[in-house]
Amino acid sequence: MTNWKVILNIAKTHLLTKIKQTSTAALGVTFGIGSYITLVCFMTGLNAMLDDLILNQTPHIHVYNEIEPSKQQPVSLFDDVNSSFNVVHSIKPKLSQKKIHNAVPIIDFLEGNKNVRGALPQVKTQIFYVAGSIEIGGNLTGINSVEETKLFNMSDYIVEGSAEALEQTDNGILLGIGIAKKMSLKVGDRVQVSPINGGIFPLKIVGFYQSGIADLDAIQSFTSIKTIQRILGKANNYITDINIKLFDIEQAPSLAKMIEQQFKLKAIDIKTANAQFETGTSIRNLITYAVSITLLIVAGFGIYNILNMLIYEKMNDIAILKATGFSGKDVQLIFMSQAMIIGFVGGILGLLIGFGLASLIDTIPFQTEALPTVETYPINMNPLFFIIGFSFAMLSTFLAGYLPSKKARKIDPVKIIRGQ
């Protein structure tokens, strides 16, 4: 039977009479937890921002028709030379169409899959931007801009104008910001584009596109699927790419494989395409935790030291308590609760300070060409971090308090009383 009221009362009195040492120990924890929260919120915010930069606008699975050499050369179909040794020189890729055959039924089929959040058709082509006698090469992609906004955050990368405007304007174009600069164009101006197989089409600029990747912004523009089909002179089932977004990104590799087998198309999943990306994320996390744990270990040693000192100073008290009927366990609990109180107070303060600092960082302006949507330093304020931080504080103070308090438990009162 443990009499917590008495134990906590004694612990409280000890802490209050040694308020200086106690606050130093608690501040150590505060510092550790505060920096952990700040660091982890900032680092994961940064991670999320960098991930978003790639992942948000990247489909989980990209389906298209790859131009590649036929796996079976005609000679192998010919039975007469079957038994001989055939050498084929200068293999050329097969002339296949870029168009995905039966794209519309495939999209319908994919959207029926329960893992798929959405499958969007695109039409990609190379064009020239024409301004007077200047021709600049580039890519024009036909998209369903409203749906793209929903699934791939398209609107984050539209710096002027809007996704809806593209949908509503016939012959509209979302011009890459790099091209716009080169050609000194404004929203509302017209730009002429010319597909490779000839013809010139004037398109009205409804907005600018800025991905943050300069090379891309210097060539890439978007228009509606209808417009690009008209420019290319193709039917309205002409689709070159399908971008799929899943509910769970982990499903991407298996679904990609399934699509490749079932439709004889190329399907690239995001995990394969961006493997190096996860490495960066995990290293940043590693740094965050390494720094925080170091800080907490330092704080833990502070608590350990102070408790050790306190127990040394309180030898007499311990002897009296034991002589008057407190058990070793009671004495251990008295000192453990002191450690835990220090951890609790220090931890809560640390969470508050971490929250304050993170909120402060969240207001510091951070503007960069590369990231049009970001205005302040990114902060990811996840409640989980606060729970982890608090558990961290309690755990480290528990460990720091355990050894000294165990020593107090073992103190022999007779020795102390004799020593007087």
Partner 1 sequence: MSVVLQAKHINKYFRKPVLFHVLKDINFQIEKGEFVSIMGKSGCGKSTLLYILSTMDTDYEGELFLSDQLVTGQSRAHLSYLRNKHIGFVFQFHYLLSEFSVLENVMLPAKKLAEKSHQEIEHDAMQKLKILNIDHLAKKRASQVSGGEKQRVAIARALINNPSIIMGDEPTGNLDSHNAENVFNIFKQLSEEQNLSLLIVTHDEDFANKTDRIIQMGDGKIII
Residues forming contacts to partner 1 in the complex (CB under 8 A) are 1, 3, 5-6, 9-10, 13-14, 17, 316-317, 319-330, 413-414, 417-418, 420
> 342 or 379: whose CB is closer to partner 1?
342
Place of tokens 């002589």: 323
Q: How far apart are CA 55 and CA 151, in angstroms?
A: 11
- Is residue 196 within 8 Å of residue 127, measured between CB atoms? yes
> 181 or 415: whose CB is closer to partner 1?
415
Tell me how far, at minimum, the Cβ of 330 lies from partner 1, in Å.
Answer: 7
Q: How far apart are CA 139 and CA 291, in angstroms?
A: 45
Tell me how far, at minimum, the Cβ of 319 lies from partner 1, in Å.
Answer: 7
Tell me how far, at minimum, the Cβ of 331 lies from partner 1, in Å.
Answer: 10
Express the helix, strand and coil content of the chain in percent, nearest 5 each.
60, 15, 25
Neighbouring C-beta atoms of residue 369, cutoff 10 Å: 10
> 51 or 330: whose CB is closer to partner 1?
330
Tell me how far, at minimum, the Cβ of 285 lies from partner 1, in Å.
Answer: 46
- Is residue 379 within 8 Å of residue 41, measured between CB atoms? yes
Tell me how far, at minimum, the Cβ of 327 lies from partner 1, in Å.
Answer: 4
What six digits make up the tokens of 46?
């940064």
- Is residue 55 within 8 Å of residue 329, measured between CB atoms? no
> 228 or 321: whose CB is closer to partner 1?
321
Q: How far apart are CA 370 and CA 179, in angstroms?
A: 16
> 9 or 262: whose CB is closer to partner 1?
9
Nearest Cα neighbor of 98 from 280, 231, 296, 234 is 234
> 326 or 386: whose CB is closer to partner 1?
326
Distances (CA, A) of 205 to 6, 166, 352: 78, 9, 49
β-partners of residue 193 are 129, 201
Tell me how far, at minimum, the Cβ of 404 lies from partner 1, in Å.
Answer: 19
Tell me how far, at minimum, the Cβ of 310 lies from partner 1, in Å.
Answer: 12
Place of tokens 């319908």: 108
Q: How far apart are CA 14 and CA 306, in angstroms?
A: 12
> 116 or 342: whose CB is closer to partner 1?
342
> 176 or 413: whose CB is closer to partner 1?
413
Tell me how far, at minimum, the Cβ of 27 lies from partner 1, in Å.
Answer: 22
What six digits make up the tokens of 364?
């510091």
